[in-house]
Amino acid sequence: MNSLLQNYKALAIIGIVVLVTLFSSVKIVPETHQAVVIRTGQPVRVINQFRPDQPYGSTGAGIAPRIPFVEEVRMIDRRVLDIDMERTQVLSNDQQRLQVDAYARYRIIDPVKLVEKAGTELQFESQLLPILTSVLRQELGRRPFTALINAERGSAMTNITKSLDEQARIYGVQVLDVRIKAADLPEGRPLDAAFTRMETDREEEAARIRAAGQRDAQILQAEASAEAARIYADAYGKDPKFYDFYRAMQSYKQTFLKGEGQSSMVLSDDSEYFRQFKGNP
């Protein structure tokens, strides 16, 4: 009984050892990563290195052999990675400040170089970040403020991408592109000044609109008055004398009938009204 158990134990131990060796002599490299095999501190080969024309399924990903305990496999990302810059203040060549938030996208095309120069992706990022910031500052600082926020960004960005790419190649990295995610006016005085400018701009517009309304109103009334005058002239001009008489009659009615206060009249008996009163023909 005891010997049998011991036999089993030995078998189990052997089995475990075999399994561990098997597992440690095999590494599964996913499609998302490339693996650098390092033997005693020396990179010896790369599994699943990025090649642009390789479709997925025919890459080097999958089960890869390695010598256990001797070879170390370091996984390096094979995908497009991004590096996000902190907000930086950029001074344009006309001394205006702008808060710029940028990102770069890159791909590790030579993982051996990356492992040699930087070690890991994270370390590489911390080395690239200051380069990105200074390249950005330099390139944008050469432009006027209006160009920074305008569509002209395009040429600036290609320049930045190019010079960043040059520096990143040392690490075996290809910079695909650099983009400005946000360009804002810095908080405080520049932002307040912009707000004030916007505000006064609107105030001016409001005043202009109101004045224009007033003007249009006046013009409308003047036109109407002119038209009315024309109508009156047309009508009354036919017989000015009769108009005089007619208007006088209207005026009397208005004054004595509709006017306020009581009127008393002292009439001479030789007035026109009393012509018949006297009885003379």
Partner 1 sequence: MAGKNNPWGGGSGDEPSGEDGGDGGGPRNPWLPGGGEPGKRRSASIEDIFKSRGPEGPRRAGGGGGPTFRLPERPGGKSWLPVIAGGIALVWVAVSSVHFVQPGEQAIVTWFGGKYYGTLDSGTNFTAPWPVHMVEKLNVSQVRLEEVPGTKTEKLILTGDQNLVDLSYLIRWNISDLALYKYQLSDPQNALLEIGEAAMRAAVARQKLDAVLTGAGRAEIEQDVRMAMQARLDAYRSGISVQGIEINKVDPPGPVEEAFKDVSSAQQDADAAINRSRAVAQQTLARAQGDAREFNDIYEEYKLAPEVTRRRLYYETMEQILSKTDKTIVESGNVTSYLPLPELKRRAQAAPAQQQGN
**What CA–CA distance (Å, rounded) separates 130 from 132?**
5
Member of 72, 94, 184, 244 binding partner 1 (CB under 8 A) = 184
109-148 binders of partner 1 (CB under 8 A): 145-146
Q: What is the closest distance, in whole angstroms, from the C-beta atom of residue 206 to partner 1 in the complex? A: 4
Two structure tokens written together for 85 = 């810059």
Q: What is the closest distance, in whole angstroms, from the C-beta atom of residue 217 to partner 1 in the complex? A: 3
For residues 141, 146, 149, 151, the Cα torsion angle rounded to the nearest 10 degrees is -110
The answer to whether residue 218 forms part of the interface with partner 1 (CB under 8 A) is yes
**What CA–CA distance (Å, rounded) separates 202 from 154?**
31
The answer to whether residue 7 forms part of the interface with partner 1 (CB under 8 A) is no
The angle at the Cα of 18, spanning 12 to 24, to the nearest 5 degrees, equals 135
Q: What is the closest distance, in whole angstroms, from the C-beta atom of residue 81 to partner 1 in the complex? A: 5
Member of 42, 272, 279, 281 binding partner 1 (CB under 8 A) = 272
For residues 94, 96, 102, 108, the Cα torsion angle rounded to the nearest 10 degrees is 40
Member of 257, 260, 280, 281 binding partner 1 (CB under 8 A) = 257
Phi, psi torsion values for 206, nearest 5 degrees: -60, -45
The answer to whether residue 91 forms part of the interface with partner 1 (CB under 8 A) is no
35-54 binders of partner 1 (CB under 8 A): none
The answer to whether residue 238 forms part of the interface with partner 1 (CB under 8 A) is yes
Member of 103, 116, 127, 169 binding partner 1 (CB under 8 A) = 103
Q: Which stretch binds partner 1 (CB under 8 A): 12-20, 111-119, 130-138, 197-205?
A: 197-205
Q: Where are the alpha helices (DSSP H) in 25-120?
A: 111-117
Q: Which stretch binds partner 1 (CB under 8 A): 10-18, 125-133, 164-172, 271-279?
A: 271-279
- CA distances, 239 to each of 197, 236, 248 (Å): 63, 6, 14
The angle at the Cα of 77, spanning 74 to 81, to the nearest 5 degrees, equals 150
